[in-house]
Chain A
Amino acid sequence: EIVMTQSPATVSVSPGERATLSCRASQSVYSALAWYQQKPGQAPRLLIYDSSTRATGIPARFSGGGSGTEFTLTISSLQSEDFAIYYCQQYHGWPPHLTFGGGTRVEIK
């Protein structure tokens, strides 16, 4: 099983500032990496897939990068609606054994 580790567990950011979230895979997943946003009481929302491709309707302030075992999600200028928990998910290989990271909470500083 590929283990996904996210850091930090919590990051405190002021509105308008940049936030950078990290996700590490226990072995290479190439670019098979997605990011989701989840707000309290809501289902996850797909933000990024294939490491850096924004999903439909996702604002340009969200960007993803990395390959292999190290990935980042950057939110360039945090808006009030961006305070949430972010999860990474790998989908490398066949048959699929999808695994999620433990999440990073982005809170208001």
Chain B
Amino acid sequence: QITLKESGPTLVKPTETLTLTCTFSGFSLTTSGVAVGWVRQPPGKALEWLALIYWNEDKRYSPSLKNRLTITKDASKNQVVLTMTNMDPVDTATYYCAHRPGQTDAIIFDVWGQGTLVTVSS
């Protein structure tokens, strides 16, 4: 059974850097084709893709946020870390990490974490 769980601060101040950790189980991030992604959702609004890291260290970012995002993985710890710099109140959202299956070419997320709400406020 695949599970993912996000952890990190619930409150950050404007201009600070947000660091979120996704801890997963039930799969390996060394398996060909597998990836972990991050998606966020402001309160009452739609989903927005942020970043994706593949088993082979390939990293992809949303073009609109690319300059602020860094995604890394520690396969031995079963963790993926997302950092977002220069946080602003508009970045207030629930942040999800999710599993991208390796046995399809589709870039989809078949298992999601529960999400973590991050509020940006001074």
Contact = CB atoms under 8 A, between A and B. Distances in A.
A56 B111 CA distance: 11
Interface string B78-111: 0000000000000000001010000010111110
B106 A100 contact: no
B11 interface: no
Contact of A43 (B46, B64, B115): B115
Contacts, number: 56
A98 B106 contact: no
A44 B48 CA distance: 12
Contact of A96 (B48, B104, B107, B115): B107
A99 B65 CA distance: 13
B106 A96 contact: no
Interface stretch (A11-19, A20-28, A66-74, A87-95): A87-95
A55 B46 contact: no
Contacts of B62: 97-98
A93 B47 CA distance: 19
A49 B47 contact: no
Listed from nearest, the 5 A-B pairs whose CB atoms lie closest are A43-B112, A98-B49, A91-B107, A100-B47, A49-B108
